[in-house]
Chain A
Amino acid sequence: MKKILGALVFCAGLGLVSTAHAVDSTGGCGLGSMAWRGQSGIIPQSLAITTNGFFGSNTFGVTFGTSGCDPNGRITGGTGRMMLAFLEDNMEQFAMDAAAGKGETIETLAGIMNVDSATLGKEVQQNFAYIFPNDNVEAVDVTLRVMQIAHA
């Protein structure tokens, strides 16, 4: 019994694997610090409409999935879908990087959009209040505004 109890804590350390796994198994997405995301959490089905609303035409060929989540837990899809998936999970880090004008999330988004990261940093900092108009903003809106700013 003594051994078992001793082993208990030794293993609990390794047991965390399981806890982490349990968290991951929620779909490999939607994890992370998503407290900023609107309460619904799920991307509205009218996304395509929103897209058209913003860009008027499909100039950029944006095709979003219904959500950034991939059942295989992989990063997949085109620019828009990848950005949405990324921002859904990293909105808070991005908010800070956007406020500062630089950071890893800006470099990542610049990579996805294939634009210069320093320029993007400046642009998102200058347009912070536009990208984040209130504390209840949806990832999808942030995605669209960042794209709009970057391609403007």
Chain B
Amino acid sequence: MFRLFLIFYLFFLSAAVARADNLSNYAYSNEWIKLLHYHKKSDSYIGLINAKSFYISPDGRTNPEVELRAEIAAFQNGKSKCDFPARFNALKKQNLISGNLSNCSKYQQFLHDTQPNGVTILFTDAFMNNPASMFGHTLVRIDTARKGTQMLAHGSNFGADSGMDSGIPFILKGLFGGYNGKYNLSPYWTIINTYNNIENRDIWEYQLNLTAEERLKFVNHLYEMKSAEIQYFFLTKNCSYMILELLEAVRPELDLTKHYNYWAIPLDTIKTIRKVPNLVGKINYRPARYTKIKHQLQQMNPAQYAAFLKGVNEHNYDTPDLTETEQSQVLESEYQYYQYVYTSGKMELKDYRKNSFAVLRKRSALPTPQAPTVEAQDPSLSHGSFQLSFSGGIQNHKSFEQINIRPAYTGLTDDNYGLISGAGVRVFETAWRWYNQKHKLVLQNFTALNIYSLVPADRVFSPYSYKADYSLQREYNPQNQTEGYVANLEFGIGKTLRITKHCWLYGLLNANGQYGGFIPDNYWLGLTPEVGVFADFSPLRIHLSAENTFATARFGNRLKYKADIAVSLNKNLSLNFEYFTSHNKRGHNSQEWLSAFKWSF
């Protein structure tokens, strides 16, 4: 009898020990670690979320196991469970707690309003000529089961809570984690309005193939995150990084964030998500208002185009020569154009109402034509933003080899599938050069930022083109035949004209200057008219330019010619031939040839 009792006793004891073991195993499991956003730092853990309410135990942010035990105890007593439905379900699935969430009225209302039945990742493209949007932005959408369309879904944005800050304080605080990031929720139609209609940025929708359980977990987890505050870093812990964190929480076996310790470019994170087999399902494109108008104008026949110009310039909408279908296309374009002009602040509200109303009145009397669909290239299939170039060349009779390392984003003559033709943004590019005769390795160039934004102007839209450069460069002084470092600063603005569809001519007026102990007087400032040609006969792209600098110091006065010819072998590989010559006004010339093999990934 005593032996029997002992056996039972040992049995229960071991069961209790086993449960404790299971508990600490689960506390350090992928599922728990990722759901609570713990990150391992050497031997310890730290939660990403700073809000105290996100972890129940006072030590919860640094101790996954203490937090797990605290939550089991709390949820079992019905405390806090309504704030953390994803955790509640996870623990229930492990048989660690019992009960349900049916009495959680706020949470139930949330489900009732959103009626979730899917998850879509949104990428808002860059708007051409808007440098602030060049890297895009990402959001998530909780797809809805409501009748109608996904306009009735809800989008969630993770953004820095910057209050009224702007300018330099905004940037500095953003860079160094001075703000807290927060999720917000809004009807998808406001997101469409914000990006498509106000900022004129295309939206790409990447629907995720998730199981029903994962979909609910995503929505529940987003609900948990609504009160979360996360130290926001523009470069790293930004909107796009946080979406990867959400996905890992939902499917713990995913390992997406590991690539993004230093910076997270929105488009890159979309590419990472697309690389997961079968994760992305249906892809939908939602063109911006500007994109739609541009597209409609391109589709018009000459008579329609003339009618459009007459309409928007003279507000005369009589078009007896057009067919009814042609008329309705023109009127719809005119209406959207008025919206565009009004939103850009270039038309008074009174005039806007009068004009747009007149157009629509006329339109409503005409039959319905087939709506034109806008075709576009998926930006997530564009070339990789990290690029290595291997090149060889001759500078003033000295041969060299060179390696360029460019973390982001795209060059003017790089492949532009899915990207904007005529736009180049290069960030933090470093060029190391080895001179063969001298056996010398030098830092040839460090480009903090280089932008070219060439946008052709036409009779309807006449945007400016511009360029900017901020770099450190090794410069050759032909006068005394020495080399040294100078800092370059340049900004220019101008216009681009279409000669043919693929060949553009541009003119820019640049303000520029150089600074460095190497040059006479340490600095010069100058004005530099620049003319150039950009031709995109993909896979062949050519950029030619001529610049004439009028500077405060003689050293800066020069005439420069440049040629950059690129042939894409595929999206990620290209061959480039570059030539550059500079004529100092005293007749001192320098020139350089270079051929490069460029690899993006």
User: In the bound complex, do residue A89 and residue B189 qualify as a contact, i.e. CB atoms below 8 Å apart?
Assistant: yes
- Answer whether residue A14 sits at the interface, using C-beta atoms and an 8 A cutoff: yes
- Answer whether residue B299 sits at the interface, using C-beta atoms and an 8 A cutoff: no
Instruction: Choose among A15, A20, A23, A135 the residue that contacts B356 (Cβ–Cβ < 8 A).
Output: A135
Q: Report the Cα distance A129→B408, complex, angstroms.
A: 53
Do A96 and B148 contact each other (CB < 8 Å), given the known contacts A10-B427, A20-B159?
A: no
User: In the bound complex, do residue A6 and residue B136 qualify as a contact, i.e. CB atoms below 8 Å apart?
Assistant: no
User: In the bound complex, do residue B160 and residue A15 qualify as a contact, i.e. CB atoms below 8 Å apart?
Assistant: yes
User: In the bound complex, do residue A3 and residue B157 qualify as a contact, i.e. CB atoms below 8 Å apart?
Assistant: no
User: In the bound complex, do residue B132 and residue A12 qualify as a contact, i.e. CB atoms below 8 Å apart?
Assistant: yes
Q: Report the Cα distance A25→B162, complex, angstroms.
A: 11
Find the A residue at minimum CB distance from B487: A2
Number of interface residues of A (CB under 8 A): 69
Q: Which residues from A are CB-within-8-Å of B486?
A: none
User: In the bound complex, do residue B187 and residue A73 qualify as a contact, i.e. CB atoms below 8 Å apart?
Assistant: yes
User: In the bound complex, do residue B234 and residue A11 qualify as a contact, i.e. CB atoms below 8 Å apart?
Assistant: yes
The proximity string for A residues 4-21 relative to B, scoring 1 for CB distances below 8 Å and 0 otherwise, is: 111111111111111111
User: In the bound complex, do residue B368 and residue A74 qualify as a contact, i.e. CB atoms below 8 Å apart?
Assistant: no
User: In the bound complex, do residue B360 and residue A95 qualify as a contact, i.e. CB atoms below 8 Å apart?
Assistant: yes
- Contact stretch, chosen from A43-51, A53-61, A100-108, A144-152: A100-108
Q: Report the Cα distance A75→B112, complex, angstroms.
A: 10
Find the A residue at minimum CB distance from B286: A104
Q: Report the Cα distance A139→B46, complex, angstroms.
A: 50
- Answer whether residue B154 sits at the interface, using C-beta atoms and an 8 A cutoff: yes
Q: Which residues from B are CB-within-8-Å of A104?
A: 149, 151
Q: Which residues from A are CB-within-8-Å of B427?
A: 6, 9-10
User: In the bound complex, do residue B160 and residue A18 qualify as a contact, i.e. CB atoms below 8 Å apart?
Assistant: yes
User: In the bound complex, do residue B190 and residue A89 qualify as a contact, i.e. CB atoms below 8 Å apart?
Assistant: yes
Cβ < 8 Å to B, chain A residues 29-79: 29, 31-33, 35-36, 70, 72-76
Give min CB distance, A108 to chain B, whole Å: 4
Q: Which residues from A are CB-within-8-Å of B194?
A: 20, 23-24, 31-32
Give min CB distance, A16 to chain B, whole Å: 5
User: In the bound complex, do residue A24 and residue B360 qualify as a contact, i.e. CB atoms below 8 Å apart?
Assistant: no
Q: Which residues from B are CB-within-8-Å of A35?
A: 342, 349, 352-353
Cβ < 8 Å to A, chain B residues 419-464: 427-428, 446, 448-449, 451
User: In the bound complex, do residue A74 and residue B137 qualify as a contact, i.e. CB atoms below 8 Å apart?
Assistant: no
Cβ < 8 Å to A, chain B residues 465-514: 468, 470, 472, 487
Most buried by A among B113, B148, B239, B446: B148
Q: Report the Cα distance A85→B449, complex, angstroms.
A: 44
User: In the bound complex, do residue B154 and residue A75 qualify as a contact, i.e. CB atoms below 8 Å apart?
Assistant: yes
The proximity string for A residues 114-127 relative to B, scoring 1 for CB distances below 8 Å and 0 otherwise, is: 10000001000100
User: In the bound complex, do residue A108 and residue B149 qualify as a contact, i.e. CB atoms below 8 Å apart?
Assistant: yes
Instruction: Choose among B190, B349, B408, B428 the residue that contacts A29 (Cβ–Cβ < 8 A).
Output: B190
Q: Can you offer 26 A-B residue contacts whose CB atoms are under 8 A?
A: A4-B172, A5-B448, A6-B427, A7-B171, A12-B131, A13-B137, A15-B132, A16-B133, A25-B184, A31-B186, A32-B190, A32-B193, A35-B342, A36-B353, A75-B113, A75-B114, A86-B151, A89-B189, A89-B190, A90-B151, A90-B193, A100-B328, A100-B364, A107-B148, A108-B152, A128-B361
17 extra A-B contacts, CB within 8 A, seeds A7-B175, A29-B187, A105-B151: A5-B449, A14-B238, A18-B160, A18-B179, A20-B157, A29-B190, A31-B193, A35-B342, A73-B185, A76-B112, A76-B113, A104-B149, A107-B148, A108-B149, A108-B189, A125-B364, A128-B360
Binding site for B on A (CB under 8 A): 2-25, 28-29, 31-33, 35-36, 70, 72-76, 82, 85-86, 89-90, 92-93, 95-96, 98-105, 107-112, 114, 121, 125, 128-129, 132, 134-136
